Amino acid sequence: MSRQFIRAKPLQACKLIGIVATFVFSAGVFSELISDPDVITLLLIPILALGLAIAIAAETLIVGYRSLRSGGLQKDLLANRPVYSIVRAVEVFLVILSVGIFIFIITTLPDGPMAGPGAIGLWFIMVGLGLLILGGSLVRTLTEYYYHRQSTIA
147 touches 18 (CB < 8 A): no
Cα four-point dihedral sign 14, 42, 109, 129: positive
126 touches 134 (CB < 8 A): no
The model's pLDDT over 67-115, given as tens digits with 9 standing for 90+, comes to 777 766 666 566 677 888 889 889 999 999 999 999 998 898 888 887 8
The model's pLDDT over 14-61, given as tens digits with 9 standing for 90+, comes to 888 888 888 888 888 877 777 776 767 778 888 888 889 998 889 888
DSSP state of 110: P
In the prediction, which pLDDT does 154 show?
61
- Cα(41)–Cα(30) distance, integer angstroms: 9
